[in-house]
Every structure is written in structure tokens, then in C-alpha cells.
């Protein structure tokens, strides 16, 4: 039942928000997600992809729905 709920957009966003604000692992998750996203962004920009397209693609690679939503604002 939890797995089915987690696979929904609302379930993933809720769990990601809880994990992101968790006292011990929240900082690690945030830094890992940002690092993954910036690595992808740098690679795309170095390949000649336009900035807006690169940001759109890189936001999807963050691995965290909260960070992805923040980047789309």
C-alpha cells in the first residue's frame, strides 16, 4: 500500500519533503541532489545546449521532487 502511494506524484513529493527536512539526512540529501543537478547542468552547457533547455533537463535529474519543483519556479 505504501509503495503504491509513493509512486504517485503526491506521495513522492510528500516523502521527499519529509526526507529533505529530516534532521540527520536532510542536508546530505539536499547536497547530493544539488550536486547531481549541477553536474548535469555543466555537462549540458559545455555541450552547447541553451541555458533554458539545460535548466529544464537538469531539474529533472535532481532526484528530489521538492528541489525539482523549486527549480521550475
Residue 34 pLDDT:
92
Express each pLDDT in 18-68 by its tens digit.
988 899 899 999 999 999 999 999 999 999 999 999 999 999 898 888 888
Residue 36 pLDDT:
93
Measure the CA–CA gap between 23 and 5, rounded to whole angstroms: 24
How far are the Cα atoms of 12, 20, 26, 49, 63 from residue 45, in angstroms, in the given order? 29, 27, 28, 5, 20
Amino acid at each position: 500500500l505504501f509503495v503504491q502511494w509513493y509512486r504517485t506524484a503526491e506521495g513522492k513529493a510528500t516523502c521527499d519533503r519529509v526526507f529533505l527536512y529530516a534532521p540527520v539526512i536532510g542536508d546530505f540529501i539536499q547536497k547530493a541532489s544539488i550536486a547531481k543537478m549541477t553536474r548535469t547542468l555543466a555537462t549540458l552547457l559545455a555541450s552547447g545546449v541553451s541555458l533554458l533547455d539545460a535548466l529544464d533537463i537538469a531539474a529533472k535529474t535532481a532526484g528530489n521532487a521538492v528541489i525539482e519543483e523549486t527549480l521550475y519556479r
